[in-house]
Amino acid sequence: MTFPVELTFEVLPPIVVEDVELPAQIDITKVLLTIVGPGGKPRQVDILKTFSEDQIMLWEDQIIDSLYEDADEE
């Protein structure tokens, strides 16, 4: 099954730690699923906590790769 979701994330800037520059990173903050209640009124539920840390990290890697690809095309 496929459901529409809204994924919210922050882009964390590169940082320097002990003279080593770490690249920009992505932090997924919400994964919102819109559901319709018994009264027919839609509401959003944050389902982020239902995913494993491995899955979230995979999505974060895919997002940052996509952002860099888009920047390279411009």
Q: What is the 3-state secondary structure (H, E, C) of the chain?
A: CCCCEEEEEEEECCEEECCEEECCEEEEEEEEEEEECCCCCEEEEECHHHCCHHHHHHHHHHHHHHHHHHHHHC
Low-confidence ranges of the chain (pLDDT < 50): none
Q: What integer pLDDT is reported at residue 3 of this predicted model?
A: 82
Mean pLDDT, the chain, integer: 91
